[in-house]
Amino acid sequence: MTRVLDAALSVPWAIHAPALTSILDIIARHEVDPAALAAWKQHMIPPDSPESLATRRADRMVGSHAVMLRDGVAVVPVIGPIVRYAGMFTDISGGTALARLATDFQAALDNPEVKSILLEIDSPGGEANGIAEFAAQVRAAAARKPVTAYVGGMGASAAYWIAASAGEIVVSSTAMLGSIGTVAAMTDTRERDAKAGVRQYEFVSSQSPLKRPDPATDAGRAAMQSLVDRLSAEFVTAVAAYRGVSAEAVLADFGQGGLLVGADAVAAGMADRLGSLESTLASLAGKPVAGSSGKGALRRPVTAHQQGAIMSDTSTSEARQDSPAPIVTASTLSQTHPAVFAEIKAAGAAAERSRILAIQAQALPGHDSLVARCIEDGTEPGAAAQMILAAEKAKGPRQLAALAAEAQAQPKLEVAVAEDPKPVADAPAVDPAAPLEDRAKAVWAKDSALRAEFSGDFNRFLALAKAEGLDRVVAR
């Protein structure tokens, strides 16, 4: 059992914190026998837990481990804790192995009978290893077949990473989404081992000082924190890209590491609509659900502040969730919800001001017309900065050519230079520790040839010395 615990502690996790605590506790305290496994699975998914419910049977897809096929829709389950490979841990947790999940998903994608794919998700998340690759596989599949994620219970952490990569996320009214972030756990048994008379000696190569960070030290904790933060940044960036929002929006609106329920998740932009598993399956199969249009009643609103109005109009029954959604226009919104409309308008104005100020901050002399065009046509600040830099680079050769032509047109000045220039007698000595400008003045005062070379223009000499180095300018 110690080996299983060590394996669990050796990898970073993208998982809802209580689930990880429960996993580690059960591994540490129980033997792996049928009764313990049954108790663990009962603990993770109790009989009365809210989860997705299918009202019709489906057939297992040939050539898959767990995919069910119904009316041309392949239902790929992502249930329980997620780990990279199948083995004792999946037996303990009753969870999902990414290795099997990836092959099952690919089998559904390659099966000519499958017209669309539904990821049925009810998971607290799991091991971070492999999640990014599978999410990328899901997103790439959209070019071949529609992929929808349905969350009936929990879509937390790594499970939400997977859900976000689908083309659409449908959730039940009691689904819980979020827990975006990464966690790494370590167990320090040194005091216990010392009392038991156990001593462990470890030799780490001197070339690898960070190979074994010690969590008991500030440096060790900082090293582990840096690793966890870096993985979390990848998580946030991926979710932002998949959901079509900024990383800042994910950090601010997607639960801040916590969970959002049903309509709240839709309001925040974490999911696209409410619905039942059956209505989602019917929609993907092209079959209308009796008494509804097959579309979710609650869809992503413009702002999270509309949440109260939405919840008041949304029944907890799945039939009500499947009623047609009214078309909302700016005109109707201004009449039915003037406060919300005013808030959206103010937010839009603030965003536009921020965009204009950001573009103006990137401006360079000589590019006023380009800056004005970027402001007028709605160009984002990042793209505007690239355009301005490109224009500045293109301007450089033209300026050099113009300066060269101007120099050719100017009459040549004959400067008399002494055959054997003598330094000025009372010129100050050059102090190598003095500031650059002071040293330049001392050199300028001592060297008449240098003054002749620059036609008596000290400022031009100083500018070149700052750009290329004083010693280099004097020596050439």
Which residues 6+ apart lie within 8 Å of 158 measured at CB?
A: 13, 14, 15, 82, 123, 125, 126, 127, 128, 131
Asked whether the beta carbons of 66 and 96 are under 8 A apart, the reply is no
* Per-residue DSSP letter, 306: G
| Global pTM value | 0.53
Q: In 10 A of CB 19, how many CB atoms?
A: 23
My answer on whether 304 and 434 are in the same domain is no
Query: What is the number of other CB atoms lying within 10 angstroms of the CB of residue 114?
Result: 17
Integer CA distances (angstroms), 401 to 45, 395, 407, 408, in order? 75, 10, 10, 11
CB 130 within 8 A of CB 96: no
Looking at the fold, whether 310 and 357 belong to one and the same domain comes out as no
> CA 335 to CA 341: how far, in whole Å?
8
Rounded Cα distance between 160 and 77, Å, is 14
Residue 54 covered by a domain: yes
- Please tell me the predicted confidence (pLDDT) of residue 116: 95
**CATH number, residue 11:** 3.90.226.10
**Residue 418 in domain:** yes
Domain identity same for 128 and 248: yes
Q: Is the CB of residue 135 less than 8 Å from the CB of residue 161?
A: yes
Are residues 367 and 312 part of one domain?
no
> Pick from 291, 321, 351: which residue ends a domain?
321
Q: What is the pLDDT of residue 444?
A: 86
Q: What separation, in Å, do the N-terminal and C-terminal C-alpha atoms of the chain show?
A: 74
Cβ(440)–Cβ(465) below 8 Å:
yes
286 and 300 fall within a common domain: yes
Q: 126 and 31, same structural domain?
A: yes
Q: In sequence order, what E strands does 72-165 have?
A: 73-79, 82-83, 96-97, 116-123, 125-127, 147-156
Number of helices (H), then strands (E), belonging to the chain: the values are 22, 13
Domain count, the chain: 3
Parallel, antiparallel or unpaired: strands 96-97 and 147-156? unpaired
Decide if 440 is inside a domain: yes
Using CA of residue 98, residue 102, residue 107, residue 109, what is the dihedral sign? positive
DSSP conformation letters of 320-378: HHTSPPPPP-HHHHHHH-HHHHHHHHHHHHHHHHHHHHHHHHT--TT-HHHHHHHHHTT
* Antiparallel, parallel or unpaired: β 116-123 and 73-79: parallel
Q: Residue 50: what pLDDT?
A: 40
Q: Do residues 127 and 83 make contact, with C-beta atoms less than 8 angstroms apart?
A: yes
Q: Are residues 162 and 245 in the same domain?
A: yes
260, 292, 321: which is the final residue of a domain?
A: 321
- Is residue 191 included in any domain, yes or no? no
Q: Is residue 117 part of a domain?
A: yes
Instruction: Residue 241: give the domain boundaries.
Output: 2-184+231-321
Pair (110, 175) in one structural domain = yes
| C-alpha distances in Å from residue 169, one per residue of 66, 149, 277 | 21, 5, 12
Sequential pLDDT tens for the chain (476 residues): 444 445 444 444 455 555 555 555 655 555 555 565 555 555 554 444 444 555 566 788 988 888 999 999 999 999 988 888 766 555 555 688 899 999 999 999 999 999 999 999 999 888 888 899 999 999 999 999 999 999 999 999 899 999 999 999 999 999 999 989 888 777 778 888 889 999 888 888 888 877 878 888 888 888 888 888 888 899 999 999 999 999 999 999 999 989 999 999 999 999 999 999 999 999 998 866 544 443 444 555 544 433 333 333 333 334 334 444 455 667 666 777 777 777 788 788 888 888 898 888 878 888 888 889 889 888 888 787 878 877 877 776 666 666 666 666 665 545 444 444 444 445 556 677 788 888 889 888 888 888 888 888 888 888 887 777 887 777 76
Query: What is the widest separation between alpha-carbon atoms in the chain?
Result: 105
Q: Which of 321, 350, 371 is the last residue of a domain?
A: 321
**149 shares a domain with 121:** yes
Contact predicate 86/100, CB 8 Å = yes
Q: How far apart are CA 237 and CA 328, in angstroms?
A: 30
374: amino acid identity, one letter = C
| Separation between Cα atoms, residue 283 and residue 278, nearest integer Å | 9
Structure tokens at 422: 């003598």
In DSSP terms, 274 is beta-bridged to 171
* Contact predicate 279/322, CB 8 Å: yes
Residue 211 covered by a domain: no
Compute the residue count for the chain: 476
Helices 338-361 and 381-409 cross at an angle (nearest 10°) of 30
CA of 195: how far to CAs of 6, 198, 422, in Å?
A: 21, 7, 85
Same domain, 68 and 133: yes
DSSP 37-90: HHHHHHHHS-TT------SS--EEPTT-SS-EEETTEEEEEEESSEESS-SHHH
Q: In this structure, what token pair is assigned to residue 414? A: 């004959």
Asked whether residue 10 is assigned to any structural domain, the reply reads: yes
Distance CA 357, CA 384 (A): 12
Residues 166, 57, single domain; the answer is yes
Q: Let me know whether 404 and 288 are in one domain.
A: no
Q: Is residue 335 part of a domain?
A: no
> What pLDDT score does 35 carry?
60
